[in-house]
Structure 1
Amino acid sequence: MCGIAGLFSRKSIDGNHINNMVNRIKHRGPDNQGSIGMYSNRVWLGHARLSILDLSISGNQPMSYMDGRLNLTYNGEVYNYVEIRDELKKEGYSFRTETDSEVILAAYSHWGKDCVTHFNGMFSFVIVDADKNSFFAARDRYGVKPLYYWKSNDDMLALASEIKEFTVLPGWKPEVNGQRAYDYLQYGLTDHTNETFFQGVFQIRGGEFVYGSLDDPVGSCNVRRWYNAPQQKVRITDEEAKERFRELFFDSVRLRLRSDVPVGSCLSGGLDSSSIVCVVNDLLMADDAAGSQRTVSALAGGTPHDESKFIDIVLKEREINGYFVDPSPEDLWNIQNRLIWHQDEPFGSTSIYAQWCVFHKARQEKLTVMLDGQGADELLAGYPRFFLPYYSQLIKSLSWKRLAEEIKYGKLYHNYSWKTVIKGLLKTNFPAGLMYKGMKTTSDRGGIDWYSMDKLNAEHIIPQYYGNDRAKTVSEMSQHLLFYNNLPMLLRYEDRNSMAHSVESRLPFLDYRLVEFAQSLTDDQKIDEGQTKAVLRKAMNGVLPEGIRTRMDKIGFETPEEKWEKEHSAEFRALIKESIDKTNGIINERSLEYFDKVVAGNKLDFAVWRMINFGLWYDIFINRNENLLGR
């Protein structure tokens, strides 16, 4: 797990530029930083290394292969590198290291661009191929590891793990992408397109690649897709689904335990993280190593968000040593500037701060690798919002008895009322053109007038996939959440928070074999009698404590933000005032009135954090006020 940088031009580039980029991301790779210039310094690769496999200097990057024909800078882990290496050895390839980096180079030599289809893992990398006078940059299927690009006015292409790397390059002039800022301020949506908050900075999305010529790197930088998730349904029995899911899940976790440094797990007490922790425990017990298992959990004592009792159930039953953090608003004030600097772009709520605390604690306890449960909700219909498309399909198939039962259990377990069901079904099935007619005026912004559309230079356009209201099936909604409007946000938060502390985060639920299998299942194998993630619950029978496996409430990984806003309203209000002062009129005075109404009410409104967070981001990155980082 590392940080990467690449510069390409038709003329010589000063090597200090690549070194400055690497220095910006030393947190991603504190163990070694290196760079290499090629083609009369027209091409540079840079790398910051966090040593996970083969801790010797032979694993440092940029890495050369085949007498310098191929050069690589790479971020991530290919978990099945052992199996691929064995396969390539039979084809005559030899290896001098125990790294997956060298396996990537050999795989590219053997399979070319198709090498990525053989990789089971998370990755972003750049390969320079001397024989073909080309470069190849690719990102993993679901975009776990980041990859951005920016083209300067001076005919230079820059590739990077984090946007902040571009800020040290000549010609960089930060400018707000108003439309994407609007999506965030109005809808709380980020990372849903290839655009970023910065005008002219783009991300190569999950499952995409760039293959270009070294003679014309800017002109040939065209993004193409290498991965499309299969959509085929395979009807198998519930018993077969349970056994196959269990088999794949255990193997996914097993592969993600491959490491030459200590491995821990995030434990929230929910179904997903608890499943990972218990499977890890089973695998370690088989190797007589269960006593080495460690977890880190965030608490929210005395609030409805606290899951301590569920965390304790897992720790006690499995005899695991757990570490704990208790995020507080006072600590948030101390690190908020550094937090947004590491995130590169604004984020949706203070839950990202709680995640920051978890990885900070992991680093303190010398846990360099952490397993986490991202992706399970999106993959296995883990949110109550999945009920509506499921009900719609039951109506379409005339399954009235099953529909009545599911609505009954939805009410019983999730307080899903008939009113909610009827309103949701109408919204789901009503023609979109009529449903959203008239979304072009300020008055249609739901009373939100605390930011300036004129200053943003944006249009009132509802982002595609926002709210998932138009998804007609569970699978369609899952696709939206996995690839567009939910998981990409969560993956950015996870990557930046973990790497800010030089910790590698691994996500077993995003093993592509598990994802594709889950996507092939029918709706009723994911939702059954009001139970979400039905196939996971059945597969974990005998593995998870029953108090976890059968729990129906979904708390989510959150902080008591509403409580903080009320108890520390003066501090929150002062931060909003700073946003007004620092954002050149984008956040306006009406934001204070909005906040006062929120505090006077009884409902959490994440817009308050968006006001604050956008102001912090704007001041650090647009005003270029990095002196804030020392506050």
Structure 2
Amino acid sequence: MCGITGIFDTRGKRDFDPAVLQRMNLAQLHRGPDEVGVHIEPGVAFGHRRLSIIDLSTGQQPLFNADGSVVIVFNGEIYNYLELIPELQALGYVFRTRSDTEVIVHAWEAWGESCVKRLRGMFAFALWDRNTETFFMARDRLAVKPMYYALLDDGTLLFGSELKALLAHGGLRREMDPLAVEEYFALGYVAEPRTIFRQAKKLAPAHTLTLRRGHPVGEPKAYWDVRFTLDNPITAEEACLELDEKLKESVRLRMIAEVPLGAFLSGGVDSSAVVATMAGLSKEPVNTCSIAFDDPQFNEAEFAQTVADRYGTNHRVETVKSDDFDLIDELARLYDEPYADSSAIPTYRVCQLARKHVTVALSGDGGDETFGGYRRYRMHLMEEKMRSSIPASVREPLFKTLGKIYPKADWAPRMFRAKTTFEGMARNSVEAYFHSVSILRDPMRDQLFSQRFKTELAGYNAQEVFNYHAAQADTDDPLALIQYIDLKTYLVGDINTKVDRASMAHSLEVREPLMDHELVEWAATLPSSLKINGQESKYLLKKAMEPHLSDDILYRPKMGFAVPLARWFRGPLKQRVRDAVLGPRLAETGWFNREYLEHLVSAHDSGARDYSAPLWTLLMFEAFLRNVMQSESAAVLSKEGLPA
């Protein structure tokens, strides 16, 4: 696991200043504290920060092929590299290391751009082939590992694992993209391939970018997609057995390491399944770690302890105070662009705990998207049944009217909170799902943004992100459609971003067996009834794990990794929220409606409404403005070459 960065001259062979590359590399020191490496030649500059996991003695980067004509910087792990080595050796390639990085170099030599199709793992890499004057970038299928890039006006291409590396170059304009701001306030993150800056992009999941010196810069190309065929004739019993074997294989591949290894254990189904599988594959007790909360409403520690006791793990627990909100500015600096998932706080803390004992940790991330675990999936399917039973000509005007006149009742029991349901019923399936997951829904963003900002948006709505992916999904199954959308949006932009930044802040590598692309492909062939069966979500995974986990773990209500925002904002953070939301930085943008900001703050303070999620989104945007857009540390980084 590493941090990579670099510069490529798309037009010629300009010489790059080594001090600039050093700045960019230093900006990602936290991603790789063990070793540093650089390579500079006319028109090309690669930098690397190494966190040593495999081939500790000879896996240094940048890494070259035999004659030095191909050079690579790579972030991630190729889990099937041991299988590829003999195949490449049979083709005549001689290995000088035992690293998965060298496998990629020879795979490029053997198979060119198609090499990525042979790789099983999490990866982001860039390579330069001097013989063909080709620059090539790639990102793994589910975007577990990040890759940012920017094409400057003079034809210089920058890339890096984090935006802070690009900003450290000094040539990237800090000009925000209004369309990214719209996406952020709808979703809580900026969706791929956009970033908060106009000039910079994220390389999308399962995409490559090939540039040839002196040729026009083309667009990234997709090399993989998941297809929800739902046509596997397998029985539930057979599927349980097959899932058990596939999960063992995925976990086994991710247990290969030459450093201490463990797992996160929250006490939920996904992490417990991973730990149970690890225990069955390991001769030694598994290292596990959990975060406990001093607020019982958010505490799952007893369930994690149950699993730890059953499998005799070396279990470590630390209690996080329910008022652990001192990370706000740190998170803003860490994520480089606005990011509003408040579970980033406990995620940061559990990574901090894990790094005290291990260098690699396995997680349960991806289980909800792959096996149908979110509560919102069940709600969506219920709405879909209603939606399909009423003609659109009747349904849309009827429920649109009801949605307008029915009061929003955050304080009421769930069964009486019908406004959101009515609003969703007035929309088509994709629009309704976007509506249900939005932090600030369309009517709220309409009131939040100023007329000036709406003019800058020129009619753009973040709904277009979901529309684009829905058009690629190639399925009309209600559950499969929203699973596909989540795999392309929420999993990538929220979950994977959160875990990558939180883990790499502590130089911890996190691996994701439930996101193995072969497992995801197989699950996509299963009928949706094996994912949600009646009111039981994640049906197949739970059935498969019944021999390994108790019903108390498998069938209790899902809790999640949450923090008490509503209480914070009426208590210890009350003044901080008011100062941030109503303060000068948001006002100076000219993008927000002051009257509506005052409404959000006062209505939440009084208890009339629960606006904790919108207020957190605003709070983190203001923190981004202070810590990234206007920070002195960023200026120091650019001028002096020091890590911010």
What TM-score does the superposition give when structure 2 sets the normalisation length? 0.85
Tell me whether 1:598 sits opposite 2:601 in the alignment: no
Equivalent runs, 1:521-600 vs 2, <5 Å: 521-551=526-556, 553-568=557-572, 569-578=574-583, 580=585, 583-587=588-592, 589-590=594-595, 591-600=597-606
CA distance in 2, matches of 1:447, 1:63: 48
Mapped contact 2:148–2:200 kept (Cα < 8 A): yes
Which residue pairs with 2:360 in the alignment? 369
Name the counterpart of 2:401: none
Q: Contact 2:180 / 2:196 at 8 angstroms: preserved in 1?
A: yes
| Mapped partners of 1:522, 1:368: distance in 2 | 38
Question: Are residue 77 (structure 1) and residue 77 (structure 2) matched?
Answer: yes
- The CA RMSD measured in Å over matched residues stands at 3.1
> 2:251 matched to 1:253?
yes
Q: Specify which of 332, 348, 359 is matched with residue 356 of structure 1.
A: 348
Counterparts of 1:200 and 1:154, CA distance in 2: 12
Structure 1 residues 329 and 314, CA, compared in 2 at 3 Å: closer, same or farther?
Answer: closer
In 2: Cα distance, 1:396 partner to 1:623 partner: 47
Q: Which moved more, 1:231-240 or 1:418-427?
A: 418-427
Letter in 2 for 1:618: L
For 1:511, the aligned partner's letter is: D
Identity of aligned residues (%): 29
1:190 equivalent to 2:195? Answer: no
Do 2:322 and 2:563's aligned partners in 1 also have CA atoms closer than 8 Å?
no
1:196-207 mapped onto 2 (5 Å cutoff): 196-207=195-206
Name the structure 2 match of 1:439. Answer: none
Taking the TM superposition and a 5 Å limit, the aligned residue runs for 1:14-53 are 14-38=17-41, 41-53=42-54
CA-CA distance at 1:86 after TM superposition = 2.4
Q: Which residue pairs with 1:626 in the alignment?
A: 633
Alpha carbons of structure 1 residues 83 and 376: separation in structure 2 relative to 1, 3 Å: same
2:519 maps to which of 514, 520, 523: 514
In structure 2, the gaps of 5 or more residues are: 390-412, 471-475, 637-642
Q: CA deviation at 1:368?
A: 0.9
- Cα distance, 1:485 vs structure 2: 3.8
Between 1:82-91 and 1:587-596, the stretch displaced more is 587-596
Q: Whole-Å Cα distance in 2 between the matches of residues 55 and 107 of structure 1?
A: 21
Once the two structures are TM-superposed, the CA of residue 306 in structure 1 deviates from its matched residue by 1.5
Give the superposition deviation at 1:508.
Answer: 0.7
Instruction: Give the drift of 1:533.
Output: 0.7
SS in 2 for 1:595: helix
Superposition pairs for residues 324-473 of structure 1, below 5 Å?
A: 324-328=317-321, 331-333=324-326, 335-365=327-357, 367-388=358-379, 390-391=381-382, 423=422, 426-427=425-426, 429=428, 445-446=443-444, 449-455=447-453, 457-459=456-458, 461-464=460-463, 473=478
After TM superposition, give the deviation of residue 584 of structure 1 in Å: 3.4
Aligned to 1:345, what secondary structure does the other structure show? Answer: coil
Which AA in structure 2 matches 1:382?
G
Which deviations, in whole Å up to 9, do the C-alpha atoms of 1:592-631 show, x marking residues without a partner? 4412211322635311111111011112222233289999
Distance verdict in 2 for CA 1:149–1:30, change over 3 Å: same
The CA deviation at 1:548 is 0.6
Aligned to 1:300: 293
Q: CA deviation at 1:462?
A: 3.1
1:411 matched residue in structure 2: none
Question: Which deviations, in whole Å up to 9, do the C-alpha atoms of 1:236-267 show, x marking residues without a partner?
Answer: 11112111111111110111111011112111
Q: 1:48 and 1:115 mapped to 2: Cα distance?
A: 24
Letter in 2 for 1:562: A
Counterpart-to-counterpart distance in 1, 2:458 and 2:613: 22
Query: For the Cα contact (< 8 Å) 1:148–1:204, is it kept in 2?
Result: yes
Amino acid across the alignment from 2:40:
G
Query: What is the aligned length?
Result: 596
Alignment partner of 2:116: what SS? helix
When residues 418 and 338 of structure 1 are mapped into structure 2, their CA distance, relative to the original with a 3 A threshold, is: closer
The question of whether the paired residues in 2 share the 8 Å contact of 1:208 and 1:223 is answered with yes
Contact 2:6 2:46 in 1 (8 A): yes
Native 8 Å contact 2:365 2:514 kept in 1: yes
Instruction: Normalising by structure 1, report the TM-score.
Output: 0.87
1:135-178 deviation line (CA, Å, top 9, x unaligned) = 11100001111111111122201111111111122433201111
Contact 2:251 2:274 in 1 (8 A): yes
**Rounded Cα–Cα distance in structure 2 between residues aligned with 1:540 and 1:130:** 51
The 5-angstrom pairing of residues 169-318 of structure 1 reads 169-185=169-185, 187-216=186-215, 219-233=216-230, 234-284=232-282, 288-290=283-285, 293-318=286-311
SS, match of residue 233 in structure 2? coil
1:267/1:297 contact within 8 Å kept: yes
Q: In the alignment, which residue of structure 1 is the partner of 2:406?
A: none
